[in-house]
Structure 1
Amino acid sequence: MNISRSNFADNLPEIVDQINKSYFVTFDLELSGIHTGSKNSVQGRRQTLQERYKEIKEAAERFQVIQFGICIVSVDKNENKYILRPYNFNVSPISENKFGLNREYTVQASALEFLAEHNFNFNTQLISGVRYLSHDEEKQIIDREDRLASEPKEDISVDEQSKQFVADFKQNIQEWLDDPNPLYDFLNITTPSQCMNGYQKRLVHQIVRAEFPSLATIGKPTFVQVVKNDPAADKFKREERRAKFDKDLQKAIGLRHLIDALFKSKKPLVGHNLITDLVYLYQCFIGNLPDTEKEFAAIIHAAFPVVLDTKYVATCVGDTLHNSSNLQGLFESFALQKLPTAELAIGHTSYSLRDCAHEAGYDAYITAYVLLKAAGRYNSYLQAFKKEGESNAEEMAAAKLMEHIYYTELMSEESKHIEDEGFLPPFGKNGFGGFWASWCNKLRVNGTAESEFILK
């Protein structure tokens, strides 16, 4: 389901509710650029995790998240199946002018070519994409508003052409004050043409504030209204202005409301080749990244106690680390496997009719599909080996899963057959259950000396 700027607010409560009731959530990002590996690469040896993290961090600080996709996976125990609800969000870099925030939008040429080849529509992103503010940006805007509300306004000088204008409106104000029975309890200051410019309005505000402390000014489109000070009314006006600011700010936070709900839920988070997406997700929606990979690992682990990388699942045994493990290929390797049953929910079936590779919502969907099918197959192998009394059933089941992914013919009868029709073991309340222990909180990072990034 595509979510745009126009229907985001209406759909947000239901999506958040689905997340809170889910078994796990997968996510995927499309980006305006990625690290190239050339700046910090070291000749003659593999990079360390810290060196790779630094590269990804620098790229995330420069480039943008342009599409966000999630797939919310729930369990239907009555029908003995998993229900998948994918959502796709184009992410707009534009923010409201009133907040004084103007992001730089940087696109890598190779990323531009890649996105164009996969039918990414930049007009849709900019016109109807969902806007957002990160936590850091929200704080900057609040600090700016507090400063503007408390700092005295800087005075401007009166130019020669405006001196008569100033003298005239000061005289009008004094006459209004001296009148014991004024016709109105306010005075409108304008020009003979009935249209004041911004400079003239500012002069009125400034001079009334300095020379008529018992009065207040209210800016209008073509004039400035002068009224007598009313402390209660002034307080009400300040509170009303702040309430409007707060309401506008909550609207401007936009897509980050969903990201916050995802973080708050503590649900198991799943992705494919996950380290890059996690770094960009944090930089885009939370704020500045820490300097070290260890600090980042601790932050993510605190936010999401259970994280699974399907690339790690597909390369967790022996020399399969060197095999191709692209997401679409993994999806195809499980295409004929019937169990466990994983169905798209009503209203979310468009991805069953078309291949939308590298659309974030679609990639999140097939990531969920791959995890369910891979874990179901592993569980079936595991139970079979345990029945046979094998002491190393876990290792044997993982090895057989790798055989299926990399060596079994897609159309073979074996690829269709799974004996276990039950649900997968649940994630434990205190982290994860034993079934998931060998996969959880380990991210595959090819090309590094460590080869895996452990979240702890």
Structure 2
Amino acid sequence: MEVIRSNFKDNLNKVYEAIEESDFLAIDGEFSGISDGPSVSALTNGFDTPEERYQKLKKHSMDFLLFQFGLCTFKYDDAEEKYIMKSFNFYIFPKPFNRNSPDVKFVCQSSSIDFLANQGFDFNKVFRNGIPYLNQEEERQLREQYDEKRSQANGAGSLSYLSPSSAKCPVTIPDDQKKFIEKVVEQIEDLLKNEESESLELEPCTGSVSEITYLLKNVFILKERYIVISKVDEEERKRREQQKQAKEQEELNDAVGFSRVVHAIANSGKLVIGHNMLLDVMHTIHQFYCPLPDDLSEFKEVTSCYSFSKLIPFIINNTSLAELEKRLKEVPFSPPKVESAEGFPSYDTASEQLHEAGYDAYITGLCFISMANFLGSFLSPRKNHVSARSKLVEPFFNNENQVCLTVWRNLPMVTSIQIPQNVGIDMVG
């Protein structure tokens, strides 16, 4: 399912439901670039310590933008002995919410853009209709702005001259407008005293005067340069205040945007599978949570509070995603039974759609299922289906090594695993 800004809210509950009911999730990201120096394969190598790899990627990769996020959820149907898959392909772009919103700077790498363009990537969907987002600090600041604005409105006197754009100080009224303001004050006082009058239409006024009268407790309607002030009873005032707060909350949710999906993944406690996933993990934290910590030990502390973990069940010579998927269809592995849920698009692996994030997430999920099921062949009696929650899978969490596939609980940890000695798995060439 393709998800862009215009249909994000309509599909958000479907995303939540798919995450909640799933046995495990698979994700993948597409970026505006990979490294501002050499390619990642040239930048990092097998001799790097985890700290060196982390520092290289942090220094050379975080100015790029994760602008397509693929999510596939997998739920096992015991009766049918197959997985039911729901796929989502999110287009993401940090569109400013208002003039006070962060105006994000990012860079593009020509080779990455050219590569994605050749794969048929639709950049218009990113830049024109990408889903916005805020990280935790940006969300906190926006919430504080709403709370402060509401506090000012509720605490202002009926004839207060506080500006909505000024958090602390009263507005200085220009000399040439003082008579007009005094007249407005008199008119409002007369309105409050006159029980028969319900509203007051002011003369056309400048923007500054509109700002001065903005925080009057009495409700008014601004139409172009005309202000209509209407008396309301306490019940009506509360109702309108509730409507206003509901609208503000909706605006806030819209601004948080795609981060709400990441929060749902993090809070679900489900396993999240990725392919060579360190960049995806780092970008996810950097864009949707907080700036990356200075060193790996701090990064582990940050991520461990969300319980990230990784997995390499098997070692295969060629670990590119396409080759990995092909190899895991062959003996001694077997292709898993997976069908798309009703109302969700299906993928055809015969016509590869690699480097669409949703498709790559789907293939990653297939690979994990094949690997996990292969563990069942060592049991007596043999077990054809091994759940993502199985004790057989747990030994492959939380060890340090290079990764082929990764498993992520809530949010990731920078670790993977070697095969335990007590699991009789041969190296697969």
Tell whether the structures are fold-level matches, with TM greater than 0.5: yes
Match of 1:327 in 2: 321
Tell me which structure has the larger Cα radius of gyration: 1
Q: Which runs of 5+ in 1 are unaligned?
A: 210-214, 388-419, 447-451
1:281 Cα shift? Answer: 0.9
Question: Counterparts in 2 of 1:410-421, with a 5 A limit?
Answer: none
Q: Which runs of 4+ in 1 moved over 6 A?
A: 39-45, 227-236
Assess if the C-alpha contact under 8 Å between 2:91 and 2:131 holds in 1: yes
SS of the equivalent of 2:128 reads: helix
The separation in 2 between residues aligned to 1:263 and 1:82, in whole angstroms, is: 22
1:268 Cα shift? Answer: 1.2
Q: Deviations over 1:84-105 (max 9, x none)?
A: 2222111122142266332224
* 1:444 equivalent in alignment to 2:406: no
Match of 1:155 in 2: 171
Match of 1:6 in 2: 6
Assess if the C-alpha contact under 8 Å between 1:133 and 1:252 holds in 2: yes
* 1:174 equivalent in alignment to 2:135: no
SS of the equivalent of 2:347 reads: helix
Assess if the C-alpha contact under 8 Å between 1:131 and 1:254 holds in 2: yes
The separation in 1 between residues aligned to 2:386 and 2:190, in whole angstroms, is: 84
User: Which of the numbers 355, 368, 373 marks the counterpart of 2:370?
Assistant: 373
Assess if the C-alpha contact under 8 Å between 2:376 and 2:384 holds in 1: no
1:65 Cα shift? Answer: 1.4
Assess if the C-alpha contact under 8 Å between 1:35 and 1:55 holds in 2: no
Match of 2:200 in 1: 187
The separation in 2 between residues aligned to 1:342 and 1:4, in whole angstroms, is: 26
Cα separation, partners in 2 of 1:343 and 1:233, compared to 1, 3 Å: closer
Cα separation, partners in 2 of 1:335 and 1:141, compared to 1, 3 Å: same
Taking only aligned residues, the RMSD between alpha carbons, in angstroms, comes to: 3.8
Match of 1:454 in 2: 415
Question: Counterparts in 2 of 1:234-313, with a 5 A limit?
Answer: 240-304=243-307, 306-308=309-311, 312-313=312-313
More deviation in 272-281 or 86-95?
86-95
Assess if the C-alpha contact under 8 Å between 2:396 and 2:416 holds in 1: no
User: Which of the numbers 207, 211, 217 marks the counterpart of 1:198?
Assistant: 207
User: Which of the numbers 338, 342, 346 marks the counterpart of 1:342?
Assistant: 338
When normalised by structure 2's length, the TM-score is 0.76
Counterpart residue identity of residue 174, structure 1: E
Assess if the C-alpha contact under 8 Å between 2:376 and 2:383 holds in 1: no
More deviation in 260-269 or 107-116?
107-116
1:358 Cα shift? Answer: 0.6
Match of 2:50 in 1: 49
The separation in 2 between residues aligned to 1:284 and 1:246, in whole angstroms, is: 22
More deviation in 229-238 or 106-115?
229-238
The separation in 2 between residues aligned to 1:44 and 1:427, in whole angstroms, is: 32
Counterpart residue identity of residue 128, structure 1: N
Q: Give the share of equivalent positions with the same residue, in percent.
A: 26
Counterpart residue identity of residue 90, structure 1: Y
Match of 1:404 in 2: none
The separation in 1 between residues aligned to 2:414 and 2:285, in whole angstroms, is: 16
Cα separation, partners in 2 of 1:34 and 1:44, compared to 1, 3 Å: closer
Cα separation, partners in 2 of 1:53 and 1:65, compared to 1, 3 Å: same
Q: Which runs of 5+ in 2 are unaligned?
A: 153-166, 405-412, 418-429
When normalised by structure 1's length, the TM-score is 0.72
Assess if the C-alpha contact under 8 Å between 1:217 and 1:227 holds in 2: yes
Counterpart residue identity of residue 395, structure 2: A
Cα separation, partners in 2 of 1:217 and 1:371, compared to 1, 3 Å: closer
Assess if the C-alpha contact under 8 Å between 1:26 and 1:364 holds in 2: yes
1:117 Cα shift? Answer: 1.9
Assess if the C-alpha contact under 8 Å between 2:310 and 2:414 holds in 1: no
Higher helix share: 1
Assess if the C-alpha contact under 8 Å between 1:33 and 1:59 holds in 2: no
Q: Deviations over 1:153-210 (max 9, x none)?
A: 4524526xxx1x542452364367469758734433223xxxx44234235569xx8x
* 1:360 equivalent in alignment to 2:322: no
